[in-house]
Amino acid sequence: MRQYGVLLLEVRDLTIQFGGVIALKKICLEIYEQEILGLIGPNGAGKTTLFNCLSRLYRQNSGDIFVYGESTTPLEPEDMAARGIGRTFQNTALFETMTVYENVLTGAQFAMSGGLTADILGGPKVRRERAETRDRIMHLLSLLHLADISDHTIADQNFAVRKRIEFARALAAEPSLLMLDEPAGGLNREEVAHLEDLIRQVRDEFKVAVLLVEHHLNLVMKVSDRVVAMDFGQKIADGLPHEVRTHPQVLQAYLGEETA
Ligand SMILES: Nc1ncnc2c1ncn2[C@@H]1O[C@H](COP(=O)(O)OP(=O)(O)OP(=O)(O)O)[C@@H](O)[C@H]1O
């Protein structure tokens, strides 16, 4: 039996409704520090809705989400980075006219003290911090195989590269929990294999927990410590990858679906 560490995030009885559609129905789940948790389910199961609730883009009708025991209900989306919650988007959301480096730097901004005023008025301490941030970003860029294109603009980059840039930007904020929304979408077999190594490497090096929403079941099953399965807005299984993969309700939910 796996020993769980410190509880990072707890979703308790989360329910959200859009008109007549109950997108999430009394969802409960926990994420522990440095855990890789896979979240699977067929189309429309509610995975992205849960992600959007976790980043405060959607507000639940009832239930709550706690980060280190504190309710997130009073928080706005822009407060979440300071609480250690970072994310990437299914269809990437980058600043098109900025360079790769500048995009990743936007992720680090909140982690730096003082902002623009400090840049203008700052003394040696601020300059040192800026230099450290630059080194940290260059390290992230090389980890994600982006160092060679750090001064290229986003507009020239293909989808797979954009996903890696988003990944780097989310990591630049030094999150405790990194939420990845379909990071393997649109990637070829070789890129998926690299992603698998990368997720583990990132967890080990940056001591982050990872919440991975993904249709690529082989990737989820290989990389996750634990997997939660959803269907029709409800949790149907929660356990070790092989337990969830063979769970009767999960097999039933995926009947007729292509399972990668
Ligand atoms: N903003 C919204 N307005 C209305 N309905 C919504 C909204 N967001 C999600 N839904 C509905 O909630 C349900 C869950 O959708 P969601 O996108 O969370 O599923 P999913 O598991 O992420 O699916 P996929 O794997 O296809 O991305 C669906 O019935 C969807 O149509």
Long-range contacts of 129-138, Cβ-Cβ distance < 8 Å, separation of 24 or more: 133/105, 133/108, 136/108, 136/172, 137/101, 137/104, 137/105, 137/108, 137/168, 137/172
What pLDDT score does 256 carry?
A: 57
Q: Which residue has the higher pLDDT, 77 or 12?
A: 12
Considering the domain architecture, whether residues 128 and 150 belong to the same structural domain is answered as yes
Gap from CA of 232 to ligand 1 centroid (Å): 10
Considering the domain architecture, whether residues 41 and 62 belong to the same structural domain is answered as yes
Which atom of ligand 1 is closest in space to residue 46's alpha carbon? 18
Helix, coil or strand: residue 12: strand
Nearest CA to ligand 1 atom 1: 18
CATH number of the domain enclosing 196: 3.40.50.300
What is the Cα–Cα distance from 211 to 87, expressed in whole angstroms? 9
Residue where one domain finishes, among candidates 174, 191, 225: 174
Task: Give me the mean pLDDT over the 187-208 stretch.
Answer: 92
Name the pTM for this structure.
Answer: 0.89
Which atom of ligand 1 is closest in space to residue 48's alpha carbon? 22
Nearest CA to ligand 1 atom 6: 18
* In a domain? residue 214: yes
What is the Cα–Cα distance from 48 to 164, expressed in whole angstroms? 19
Considering the domain architecture, whether residues 189 and 154 belong to the same structural domain is answered as no
Helix axes 124-143, 189-206, angle to 10 degrees: 140
Considering the domain architecture, whether residues 170 and 180 belong to the same structural domain is answered as no
- Per-residue burial over 162-175, b = 16 or more CB atoms within 10 Å of its CB, e = otherwise: bbbbbbbbbbbbbb
Residue where one domain finishes, among candidates 151, 174, 197: 174
Q: Which domain holds residue 23?
A: 1-84+176-260
pLDDT at 111 over 80: no
What pLDDT score does 230 carry?
A: 97
Considering the domain architecture, whether residues 77 and 182 belong to the same structural domain is answered as yes
What is the Cα–Cα distance from 155 to 94, expressed in whole angstroms? 9
Considering the domain architecture, whether residues 52 and 131 belong to the same structural domain is answered as no
Query: 47 in ligand 1 pocket by Cβ < 6 Å?
Result: yes
pLDDT category of residue 123 using cuts at 50, 70 and 90: confident
Highest mean pLDDT among 85-89, 103-107, 148-152: 148-152
Considering the domain architecture, whether residues 104 and 43 belong to the same structural domain is answered as no
69 Rama sector, left if φ>0, alpha if ψ -120 to 50, beta otherwise: left
Considering the domain architecture, whether residues 167 and 184 belong to the same structural domain is answered as no
Q: What is the mean pLDDT of the chain?
A: 89
pLDDT at 226 over 90: yes
* In a domain? residue 68: yes
Nearest CA to ligand 1 atom 12: 23
* In a domain? residue 124: yes
Write the single-letter amino acid at 200: R
Gap from CA of 201 to ligand 1 centroid (Å): 31
CA 107 to chain centre: 13
pLDDT category of residue 156 using cuts at 50, 70 and 90: confident
* In a domain? residue 89: no
Interface predicted TM-score (ipTM) of this complex, two decimals: 0.95
The percent of residues in the chain predicted with pLDDT above 70, rounded, is 91
Q: How many domains does the chain have?
A: 2
Model confidence over 18-48: pLDDT tens digits? 999 999 999 999 999 999 999 999 999 999 9
Considering the domain architecture, whether residues 114 and 152 belong to the same structural domain is answered as yes
Query: 21 in ligand 1 pocket by Cβ < 6 Å?
Result: yes
Query: 52 in ligand 1 pocket by Cβ < 6 Å?
Result: no
Considering the domain architecture, whether residues 51 and 77 belong to the same structural domain is answered as yes
Q: Which of 78, 94, 67 is nearest to 168 (CA)?
A: 94
What is the Cα–Cα distance from 243 to 47, expressed in whole angstroms? 20
Helix axes 100-108, 124-143, angle to 10 degrees: 120
pLDDT category of residue 260 using cuts at 50, 70 and 90: very low
* In a domain? residue 114: yes
* In a domain? residue 165: yes
pLDDT category of residue 91 using cuts at 50, 70 and 90: low
Considering the domain architecture, whether residues 74 and 183 belong to the same structural domain is answered as yes
Query: 44 in ligand 1 pocket by Cβ < 6 Å?
Result: yes
* In a domain? residue 202: yes
Query: 260 in ligand 1 pocket by Cβ < 6 Å?
Result: no
Residue where one domain finishes, among candidates 152, 174, 196: 174
